Every structure is written in structure tokens, then in C-alpha cells.
Chain A
Amino acid sequence: AQSVAQPEDQVNVAEGNPLTVKCTYSVSGNPYLFWYVQYPNRGLQFLLKYITGDNLVKGSYGFEAEFNKSQTSFHLKKPSALVSDSALYFCAVRDPPSGGSYIPTFGRGTSLIVHP
């Protein structure tokens, strides 16, 4: 069965500093991995995904994520945080060998707060 964990409920970072939002997963095969962002009173928006290929994936708004198979992680990163990055971030995983389940599993979300 596929599962995903976001170990931090909240991450605080100062504007201009690098940020990392952590995600670990458990699957039986090679995963499809996704990051989404949710701003207040909005729906989730897709940021980036890893399907195959280069372990470093670049996405929207300057975000990137690194797929690490040995550590079963897919951490979201940004070199320099902006106050406007403050939002709720969700990691999601889909385990293709699961067969009948075409539905990614979402983590509980991590609240990112960027302080001016």
C-alpha cells in the first residue's frame, strides 16, 4: 500500500533564507511523486512532479524537489524564501504497481510561514 508522511506540521523560515519542506513515502515500486500548494481560501495548485528521469525536478515559483530513492524522500526546496510563499504544502504519492488504484495519496500538509 502507498503512504506518504510530512513529518513537520509547520516550518518557519526568514525571508531570503533557503527553505525545505520534508516528505517521505512508502511504495512497493517506483513512485509518482507530486507537490501541491494551497493558499488561504483557495484550492490546491500543482507545483511539480517526479515520474522518472532526473532526480532534481524544477517547478513553479522557483521551487524544486529532489527524489532520493534510498531515503524514500521527496523534499521540496527553494533557495530564497519569499513572504508570499507562506501557504500549506501537500506532498502526494502514487504507486503504479498498485494496479487498480489510480489515485495518489496526499500527506497531511505542512504549513510554511515565511517571516519578513
Chain B
Amino acid sequence: DAGVIQSPRHEVTEMGQEVTLRCKPISGHNSLFWYRQTMMRGLELLIYFNNNVPIDDSGMPEDRFSAKMPNASFSTLKIQPSEPRDSAVYFCASATGTSGINEQYFGPGTRLTVT
């Protein structure tokens, strides 16, 4: 099992550019989470999908952020336009079930730097 796959692993972009982060969850997992981690704010939940449907996007910082899950094996997190304060490590995680009883499996993360 390859685990959760994220790409790219590193992204450096200039302010104002569009950034797209990608995630492939573990096969058979029906819950998917996007997180952002910074030193200042720690680990923040951005959005939660269940069976490809966004259930809770209250953590999405603003309209510049959007996320999609077109099918069970792929999700994207898009930032347009990007700003320096978006610099962080973005994690995707997946889990089985919908009750929150099962542990999450995290990908290796995408380190985003916006200059």
C-alpha cells in the first residue's frame, strides 16, 4: 500500500500566482481531510470530504482557497491568487468510515513557499 500520495512535495511560487496541490487517498478510504501546518498556528483543518462530498469547509481561510474531490481517488486544493501568508505545509489525510472513530493516515505534505 503506497499510503496517501501528495504532489508536489515542494512548491515555490510568486505572490498572485495560482497554486494547485494534489492528493490521492488510500484506496477504500471514504473520508478525506486537508490540513495546513505553520509554526504560528499549528495544525489547522481546512476542509473535510466524506464520500467525495464536502461536509465541513469552515476552516477554509477565504475565497482564495477552494477544494474539490471529483472522485474517490483524487482531490485538489487550489489557492488563487496566492499570498506570502499562505506559506505553510499542507497535508492531506484519509480515513475509513464517517464516525471519526478511525485514525487518519497522513500524506507526506506539500511545502508551499509564496514569495
Residues of A within 8 A of B (CB): 32, 34, 36, 41-46, 49, 51, 90, 94, 96, 101-104, 106, 108-109
Considering the complex, give the chain B residue whose CB is closest to the CB of A90.
B43
A103 contacts across to B, CB distance below 8 A? 33, 45, 48, 56, 100
**Interfacial residues of chain B within 26-70, with CB under 8 A of chain A in the complex:** 31, 33, 42-43, 45, 48, 50, 55-56
B43 contacts across to A, CB distance below 8 A? 44, 90, 106, 108-109
Known interface pairs A42-B108, A43-B107; A104-B93 also in contact (CB < 8 Å): no
Asked if B74 lies at the interface with its beta carbon under 8 angstroms from chain A, I say no
Residues of B within 8 A of A (CB): 4, 31, 33, 42-43, 45, 48, 50, 55-56, 91, 93, 98-101, 103-109
B50 contacts across to A, CB distance below 8 A? 102
Of the listed residues B48, B50, B100, the one surrounded by the most CB atoms of chain A closer than 10 A to its CB is B100
User: A-B contact count, CB below 8 Å?
Assistant: 56
A51 contacts across to B, CB distance below 8 A? 101
B48 near A102: Cβ-Cβ < 8 Å? yes
Instruction: Please measure, in the bound complex, the distance between the C-alpha atom of A41 and the C-alpha atom of B10, giving whole angstroms.
Output: 11
Considering the complex, give the chain B residue whose CB is closest to the CB of A103.
B48
Instruction: Please measure, in the bound complex, the distance between the C-alpha atom of A41 and the C-alpha atom of B55, giving whole angstroms.
Output: 29
A43 near B91: Cβ-Cβ < 8 Å? yes
B106 contacts across to A, CB distance below 8 A? 36, 43-45
Q: What's the nearest-Cβ distance from chain B to residue A6, in Å?
A: 10
B55 contacts across to A, CB distance below 8 A? 102
A43 near B42: Cβ-Cβ < 8 Å? no
